[in-house]
Amino acid sequence: MLEYDLSGTDLAAVRFAISPLTELALSLRTWQDPGRFPLHLPWLTATRRAREGLDTELLVALSNERLHLPDFLTPRPRTPMTRIADELAVVSSTPAAVVREDVAEVHPAGLPRVLRGPTERVLGRTVAALADYWTACFEPWWPRMRAVLEADVVHRGRVTAREGTSSMFADLAPEVSLDGDVVRVSSGSAHLRRGITAGEGLTLVPSLFTQVTTGPFDPAEAPLLVYPARGAGTVWQAERPGGPDALAGILGEVRARLVTLLESPASSTELGVRLGVTTSAVNQHLRALRAAGLLTSARHGRSVLYLRSELGDALHAGSLG
């Protein structure tokens, strides 16, 4: 079990952040055991050829048979919308002693050959391999991934505003709870790791590549929880326009499908991918639906997320008979 003791103003300092590096690092586990990540099989298939040109030996060695990764690969994001270049720079500056300790924790029986040798050389090769992996397998897909992660963060904000922080934590995952000022993450292990935020607050990071909520191996690390993002099952879906006949008869097929999809927040980029139409076309439909009062919108970082309004909910429910 992992516990974080939030005290004083720390409870108000709980914040969300999207971390491209966390997604990049956690996705390496799909290489080790694809069967445990069936949602991502379409992406693994699509990127198979691109992975052939990467430093596969090192990238595979970064995780172990239990799919654990060194803590230094998932530093706490410094801003809500951290850039991959900034996060790789943080990894590059990791002290050698920390790298050695983190890697040894992942491989207690002995380091794989590729991780032996001077720490500075291993760290440099690791950063270079991750950068190449990002360019080949993540960068083309990142807008799609980021849209789902942004939608999750907006949802958590709405839960907090409507029902309070305790409900938000309970909504993250079954294993997470807030008891007073203590956040508890049950792991099935009797071993208790307790971290004190000491004025740092707690950062919550949604991920498409985890099925349970996790924190750092070392509770002395910056307070961080990585939890499963809502909507992960939709990230690789491509949905064609269509909708309830009654609604489509009023709005047209594409707009009817948008109203149906926007039960949860989503960006125009994500919606375009799911509907198989251009982002500019989606934006035209979204503007018309918002002007009619069927959608609301809110800015999150550089994206605008859309959601059905109460009027849109009523219209959609009525179309279902």
Share of the chain above pLDDT 90, in %: 45
Q: Is a pLDDT exceeding 60 seen at residue 46?
A: yes
User: What does the pLDDT look like over 145-155, one tens digit per residue?
Assistant: 988 898 888 88
Span 90-118, average pLDDT:
96
Closest of 189, 227, 170 to residue 2, by C-alpha:
189
Tens of pLDDT, residue by residue over 53-91, are: 999 999 999 999 989 999 999 999 988 889 999 999 999
* Strand pairing category for 203-207 and 224-228: parallel
Q: What is the mean pLDDT of the chain?
A: 87
Say yes or no to pLDDT of 241 above 70: no
Nearest one of 156, 221, 219, 164 to 187, comparing CA atoms: 219
More confident residue, 171 or 242: 171
Which domains can be identified in the chain, with CATH numbers?
2-15+145-233 (no CATH), 20-142 (no CATH), 238-319 (1.10.10.10)
Q: At what angle do helices 119-133 and 84-92 cross, to 10 degrees?
A: 170
Q: Is the pLDDT assigned to residue 240 strictly greater than 50? A: no
pLDDT digits (tens, 9 = 90+) for 219-232: 677 788 999 998 88
- pLDDT tops 90 at residue 117: yes
C-alpha 115/C-alpha 232 separation (Å) is: 32
* Statement: residue 305 has pLDDT above 90: no
Q: Residue 184 pLDDT more than 60?
A: yes
Indicate the pTM of the whole model.
0.76
CB burial of 26-44 (b: ≥16 within 10 Å; e: otherwise) equals: bbbbbbeeeeebebbeebb
Q: 194-225: per-residue pLDDT in tens? A: 766 666 788 999 999 999 998 887 767 778 89
